Copies of this chain bind each other. A is one copy, B any other.
Amino acid sequence: MKNREILLVKRPDGEPTDEHLSIEEAAIPALSDGEAIVRLLYVSVDPYMRGRMNEGKSYVEPFQLNQPMEGGAVAEVIESQSDKLQVGDIVTGSLPWREYTAIAAESVRKIDPALGPVTTSLHILGMTGLTAYFGLMDIGRPQEGETVVVSGAAGAVGSTVVQIATIAGARVVGIAGSEEKVQLVKQLGADEVINYQTEDVSSALAEACPNGVDIYFDNVGGDISDAVYPLLNKFARIVQCGAISSYNKKDDQGPRIQHYLIKSSALIKGFTVGDYRERYPEGLQHLSKWLQEGKLTYEETITEGFENIPQAFFGLFTGENIGKQLVKVNEPSRFGS
Contact = CB atoms under 8 A, between A and B. Distances in A.
A272 B268 contact: no
Task: For chain A, give the interface size range.
Answer: 20 to 34
Nearest to A254: B256
Given A241-B262, A268-B269, 19 more contacts: A225-B258, A235-B275, A240-B258, A240-B262, A242-B262, A243-B262, A246-B256, A252-B256, A253-B256, A261-B269, A261-B270, A263-B270, A265-B269, A265-B270, A265-B271, A265-B275, A266-B269, A267-B267, A268-B268
Interface in A210-239: 218, 221-222, 225, 235
B257 A257 contact: yes
Contact of A262 (B263, B264, B271): B271
Interface string A272-308: 1001000000000000000000000000000000000
B265 A267 contact: no
Which DSSP category, helix, strand, loop or mixed, fits chain A's interface? mixed
22 contacts: A221-B256, A221-B259, A222-B256, A235-B275, A240-B258, A240-B262, A242-B262, A243-B262, A246-B256, A251-B255, A252-B256, A253-B253, A253-B255, A253-B256, A261-B268, A262-B270, A262-B271, A265-B270, A267-B267, A267-B269, A267-B270, A268-B268
A247 B269 contact: no
Interface of A: 218, 221-222, 225, 235, 240-243, 246-247, 251-272, 275
A258 to B, nearest CB: 4
